[in-house]
Structure 1
């Protein structure tokens, strides 16, 4: 009856009301005609025939007019209607009430008591029917009930039946109240349906983005079991263009060449029976032939029915389970070969090495062992996902295998680690040349799914028997040499040298020093400002950990933080960082936030939430001033409960920020499961976007738009020039951080900056 808060939303509800009125139009027409015939029969012989002959066409014409007005509305309930459209239905109720008011005004006046009671009962039934059936059109129904009820009450009052008039008045009021109650209930139901439809559509879109690299795909059919709305992934799985796939029978697509011969698999016959019977099914497995290749699919689907219970097709999901079917045949091979690359696995590599050492000892020869580790492979896995990473590992294994001769065997130890066993290493120069060729081959670009990937390899080389007389010692020596190659900048090979054991001892000493660093007061925090891109005023700081060791001097964060994570010292160190940062933030203005980086290892500890709560309680800092920054690496092992820990932290009121957004994989899936407050755009994207790189601009714009739609802030990392700031501000980024605004500064400088205007700081 009046405009709601959201005009578009309420226009859809009004369309649903008009559609509901359209669905009962014929019922109302039939009710009016039947009631008209009943009234005419009751007053026969009492009212002059010319009056009945004049009144009956009038009522039928009014009922037909109203019925056609209702049938002229939109044939579906998913459109839009204005408030004026709904208010115009008032004329429907007015016209019907005007036609029916002739009964109490003209017919009941001269009718005997028994006939009057029959007429009143007929009108009461008609009014009750209208109150229930026409409830979606509340305004028309209220006008009809009010006008007709008033006419009946007035007639009874003039006839001297005060009790009957009072009863009719109460009856009319109850019907009008029931109409309003039912109308309100129908509106609430329709609003709930719209919300659910919108939510289901959103979830479907998000699910499609998040599972864009999965092995499942959706399909739909119409009532004739023909494919409709064929998606790209389903069409790709069928090996048919999406445009050509629409309209084809589902069974014909799955049957492939056997469709013409009629020789169908039992699974396909079972599917045909389920589709014919319109029955739901799941875990239905059947063979298919795609592009000349035999595959196995697993299918599940449910029939779909409209509001009238009319069947209009199936909605299903399929998955390629060919690999699972073949898994049983590969059990024996899996015991000694890597299932992903087909190379020998760790067990067979070790057995080959032991045999090579035994043969060399018997004949007085030499042997060698190479341990390979891929460089920058983790970045590929994080940005493009594990399926692309697995395919890359397959390409790597192919290139290594091509370099192997009869004297060498290569294998995969696990992850991105490979090994090469050289049975005869008498020619040291030839062994080193092989290492160089492997590095050169693996450093060439890879083309995978329209992605050009660049990785490299580092190799540790150990020669026996000098570097080890047992397999365990030789592998350990090669592992130490590999660490040396990585420290040398990666992309090189290094031979084992005895001093590597000395370096390993130094690392042990560094670990011991790290364990005492906090107690000795060697740890401290520096603070880098975060500003608003519009006003360029500081709104907070990011706390960064530094270590100045009494024994080793200034230790790089990349070195000691990695060591802290490996040795499980990151927990107490991280707790100290949070507590110290909150203590410092308590000295700043109340609108200044403090951001703290959180390691994935910290989120594996259930006591992390208590640590945060304790730090906030002891320092008096409000939770919304603390922001915890996490990278997507924390989700790589979700079984450890990182998502649940973050949800509990968010319940405290603490802000969550997804750091290096865009550099990992499936970021959208994380945003849909965790309540982040802001996104931090990776420095690489910031630099490329400022340089005008179209792909980077598109990614940054999409990330900012996604964050804005989810009510999240965005922070651009690594802003170093005014041009970069201008580009990110134009793209809609709300916050920025980088050397352009200030390098990490001491606690004193940060405190001074936090307590004065940014312009004054620039002028100083």
Structure 2
């Protein structure tokens, strides 16, 4: 029996051991399946995180390039659709205005980093080049080593709609962004487009490694650079241009999934190893005796310690993440917050555990609990939430959430405040002026469109004021652009102080501003505001302990009375502004229908004048000049007339100002000088010809070279040619005028000051400048009343000329009394209707060479 009992006990013990082993193996297999499932889930989650990060990086990289294109289009548009740029870069290339004064020159490279700036003329020739802030003489296609004819044509096609174009190209293996826009007068009514194809302004922004890295940092994209051949098969790629012709961008996407795998898989492996060790230990114990509870308890205790270690490691992974983890129950109350919650938000975990999550976070679409309760909500979606930190500042976090197996939710939160603020800043700059912070032209059009759509009747009109600063250019020229920026900022503040809430103040150009007024229907209110604006801007502006003074002219247009479209309203306000400037500046004018008609008429006259110069409609008349002492003809002044086919003979005081404003004065002057010299070459040697010069010719036009060429072609003796200039030539730039006049004297021509006595510094100019004569303005003789004071004034002028060894000529000799007075004061020469009217060339040739006597009724 004892042996049988022992056998039964042994068998029973062996059966217990076998049963324990079988149960243990089943449990181990189940745990292995759990670990395998956990590993697969972790790998899937890691892959999903990496894929999401890759998609976001590609999105922000694409956004960065789009933002760069948008910024470059806006910049080239501001420079190209500008009246001054049209005058100085299209009509003719003015290097002094563009490069020396830095209107479109080195600052493009210093301020914006554009390595290339080019102006392509209407015949597709590069006429102005600035490379890395230095003036160069190079064709744009030669510098880029490729033709951009398609881009140039597309830019010209957008001239009517003021639409620039951009394109990515490859320059020497480096991607570059090129922006081009046709140069047009914009909304400047004083600039009139000619009949040539528009020139094109081209900016080139070379995207080198440093610039790409900076762009990537602004948009949160790491290591953004041009892809090399070794990176051609990478996933983080963005082709530039057509099929990547301009190159490909590559960046380094963060790998949150990879980091999770590096931390999670070892933990799972360690846990699996611990389970294997536990199974091995239990099997070892069961072989010694399945009923030894102490050994089993010890093994169980060791397994619990291993699990605790695994949990601790997982908790460390969570706390080292940049996000904070949260959990809520079915009542929307927070049940768990990771330690990173306090580091990121500055709020207390203990204070918020147990509180409602809606009290902590809110969304723009409602409460967070409402968002979490959306049926069939995709678990991979996230939402932006707002909360207030301990310093009272609003912060923004991106929240992701998943529903737990039981009830409630858990998820992570990432602080994205800086990212959101950067995007808001980019959006703000797209609609506001970077210097003053005022709305820009884009925002102005949006505001106008919305207001005009809501505009119903003329009882509550929309008032537009177009302002342009007077005397602002000297501030930039004398004190520098930094001082000009300070003036613009101060003017912007003063304008904003003068308007009410709901009104708009916008800066649309260099010193051009637009005000949009609502709820102002009484004319007295508008004019009171205009007075207040002028008075406010006229107040001195102190810069470096120096008072600067500017003023403003204002043009007023009203919707719907004048126009119902934003572009038309802006154009009419500009026309009214032009009239205000013509009316003496520092005032305001309302738009009237005849203003537009005047501008149209002026532009038609300008067009006719272009045709007249090219097709021989100009006529030259000659008014003889006589020596007062003996009545001998000494020469004649050449006077241009315009024989218009419909309007008849047009005097010079009508079309000369148009020629000066439209840039036609040089070609007009060339015709006058050439014709006068050819005619004088046929006169007797004793006669000279006198020609008037425009002050503009001293600033540009190669005056000395033009005079030399004309003298050579006509064969006339330079001593028989006299050039008449007015005092404004010296006022606009004495140093430059003096240099030109000395060069003219070296040629051998005579120089005379015209309209003497009507300026402010004539005496000083007569002493310093190489004049041969002066002409007494006709106003002195016209005011003569026969008294001693009039005689004394004219006598003093004649005496001054004699003292300086100058030939004195009196203009406007209309009566015998005038002639008698000039004899008494011993004036050298005279001209006027009493002596002879202006004659055409045939009549003058008939008179030339005839010596006449001085008679009481004039010279015959």
TM-score by length of 1: 0.42
TM-score by length of 2: 0.37
Quick check: which one's helix share is greater? 1
Say which one has the larger Rg. 2
